[in-house]
Amino acid sequence: MDNIYNKMLEFAKKHIEPYTTDVDKNATFPKESFDALKKERITALLVPKEYGGMGLSLEEHAQTVLAFASTCATTALCYMMHNVATNCIVTHGSEELKQKFLPKIANGEILLALAYSESGSGTHFYQPELKVTKKDNKYILNGRKSFVTSALYADYCLIDANSIDTEGLDNWLVHKDLMGVSYQESNWDGLGMRGNASMPMLLENVQIGSEYRLGEAGSAEEQIFNTVGPFFILGLSAVYSGVALNACNTIIDYAKNRKYPDNTTLSNIPTVQNHISKIYTKATSAKHFTLAAAKSGATGQEDALAQIISARLNASEVAVDVCTLAMKIGGGTAYAKRIKIERLLRDAFAAQVMAPSTDVLSTWLGKALTDQPIP
């Protein structure tokens, strides 16, 4: 872990942290950070070595997202989704599709995103309403995807739709500049994660060839739950563990340096010491739970899915708890936004509603633990 995690922490401090305040304040996509990600070819993390990538796995995915989130949750979230879509191509793409996409992803030429959410399906993103018809050798997509992260900045989105060829779902790779693709810009003013460029994507008579479908017709539900799901859910666990760690480090530093006229510090107060103890314990537990879940998935442990889901549920709760307690320590200074705890608390609240929501995941965990199918 030390090599990849520390390397990514160093990258984050240099290329992500300097832009975090403006990304949140202006609700702008962290373009400078992603330019650096592409230049350093960190987009290649999950691309196999034979296609020019780093050939790493679920563990390194979690470590990298965790490192990025310890400075900027927005950047970590957008990067995480790129990894998830990349892994889906690696796992389910045809050889032709892999040859077409993976070397360019590895080289930083292509950024990916997910476009699963729809207004009608809510957090049940595996029940799309997008309409697909067929004319000659082309598939025609019509509908609207909501909350598309990295919209306008991701070159391709992975889109799920009901299959017209058989029962089940299909996963499509759709380029942002295809005729008929448009975005409802300035439609995102989130409480937190303000720079993720989330906005609706409109598809109006978008024509696409079968070569851009991942896997066999009707196989996307299996892809979503067996490939996309673990990497995505664990990625969110890493994002919110990173938020908690960021808040922990920030408030400890503030408490040590906030001085009173008698030259004592905020950290000398026993109540503050107790709060900091709780914050550190919760934040580090979320980090270690996330990394342990990643190892369970990478090594194929029998209860890996349960560990991954529960790590995400834990991290989501811990992030809010830690940031709330840190706000109490920060007092008026934190409330007045003079330190970044207020931003981190807003980012943490996104954990409750981001699909699959914590309520949905809690049900899934119960099913997983009692040997019932998900969903």
pLDDT at 122: 66
pLDDT at 93: 97
Is beta strand 156-162 parallel, antiparallel or unpaired with respect to 138-148? unpaired
pLDDT at 319: 98
CATH topology agreement for domains 2-111 and 221-369: no
Superfamily grouping for domain 114-216: Butyryl-CoA Dehydrogenase, subunit A, domain 2 (2.40.110.10)
pLDDT at 68: 98
CA distance 195 to 189: 9
Q: What is the largest CA-CA distance in the chain?
A: 81
- Give pLDDT tens digits along the chain (375 positions): 458 999 999 999 999 999 999 999 999 999 999 999 999 999 999 999 999 999 999 999 999 999 999 999 999 999 999 999 999 999 999 999 999 999 999 999 999 999 999 987 766 777 899 999 999 999 999 999 998 999 999 999 999 999 999 999 999 999 999 999 999 987 678 899 999 999 999 999 999 999 999 999 999 999 999 999 999 999 999 999 999 999 999 999 999 999 999 999 999 999 999 999 999 999 999 999 999 999 999 999 999 999 999 999 999 999 999 999 999 999 999 999 999 999 999 999 999 888 888 999 999 999 999 999 988
Tokens of 163: 């299959």
- Phi/psi at 114 (5° precision): -110, 140
Domain map of the chain by residue range?
2-111, 114-216, 221-369
Strand partners, 161: 170
Q: What is the CATH number of domain 221-369?
A: 1.20.140.10
| Residue 210 DSSP class | G
Domain 2-111 fold = Butyryl-Coa Dehydrogenase, subunit A; domain 1 (1.10.540)
Q: 231, 64 in Cβ contact below 8 A?
A: no
